[in-house]
Amino acid sequence: MTHDRERFTTMYDECRQRVWAYVVSRAGRQVADEVVSETFAIAWRKLHDVPQHALPYLLGIARNVLRENIREEARREGLAGELRDWVAGDVAEQVAERLGVLKAMARLTQDERELLILVVWQGLSPRAAARVVGCSVPTFRVRLHRARKRLQQEMDQPTAATMSRFDLSRELS
């Protein structure tokens, strides 16, 4: 039991903020603490099944918790607020390119954005990330490649169709 507690605490310290950041990028800060708390409660009960490299496993749990415990409407609202923050931010500190990428990210679909976040911001391997989103690695690679191309496209020349994808298009344009 002592050993379990130690292992769990180490895992928590290593991964907590990463799980939080993932949840925030999916549903905003409002619900993030609640989802993270529940994620680790589940992880504790399943501790003996949690692999050594725990992050992908934890992100997978968080993804389920988000889907099952948080209403879609709340998720969407939270996300809209979060994306608005990305592109508003601290004006002084925002460099033009940085802003361009984040605006482009905000215009992607939820799924496209998630793949890029898992791989680029969370540093997951395609295999680990595929496990989080529940698809095969080959499928993941194709989707990732598409998402990356879409990001580039949105950075180069955003289209009218995607500019209006979110309610926040006005703030973004």
Partner 1 sequence: MNPIDDLRAARPAHLGDSPVDEHTRRAELAHAMSQGAPASRRLKISRPVWGLSLAGTAAAVTAVAVLGGGLGGGTAPRAPSVAVATSPVTATTKLSAQEVLLVAASNAEKQPATSGVYWHTESVSRTLMKAVAGYTVADETRSRSWVTANGVWGSTQQLGVRPATDADRQAYEAAGSPKGIEVEVPGKGKITLSTQDRKPYASHLAGKEIFWLGRNVTMADLKGLPEDEAGLKKWLLKHYAGHDTESDRPMGEDAWLFQTTSGLITDMPVSAKVRAAAFRMLAALPSVTTAGEVVDGQGRSGTAVAIESDSQALKGDAKGVLQTRLIIDETSGAALARENVVVTPGGFQKEFEAGTVWNSSWIVKAEWTDSRD
Residue type, 145: H
Query: Does 109 contact partner 1 by CB under 8 A?
Result: no
For 155, phi and psi rounded to 5 degrees?
Answer: -70, -40
Tell me which residue has tokens 């793949």: 115
Handedness of CA 119, 125, 126, 132 (dihedral sign): negative
From the list 62, 35, 47, the residue with the least C-alpha distance to 11 is 47
Q: Give the range of 65-73, 97-105, 162-170 binding partner 1 by CB under 8 A.
A: 97-105
Task: Determine if 139 is a binding residue for partner 1 (CB under 8 A).
Answer: yes
Q: Which of 10, 17, 109, 173 binds partner 1 (CB under 8 A)?
A: 17
For residue 63, give the 3-state DSSP assignment.
Answer: helix
Q: Which residues bind partner 1 (CB under 8 A)?
A: 1, 4-5, 8-9, 12-13, 16-18, 20-21, 24-25, 33, 36-37, 40-41, 43-49, 51-53, 85-86, 89, 97-98, 100-102, 104-105, 116, 120-121, 125-127, 131, 135-139, 141-142, 144-146, 148-149, 151-152, 155
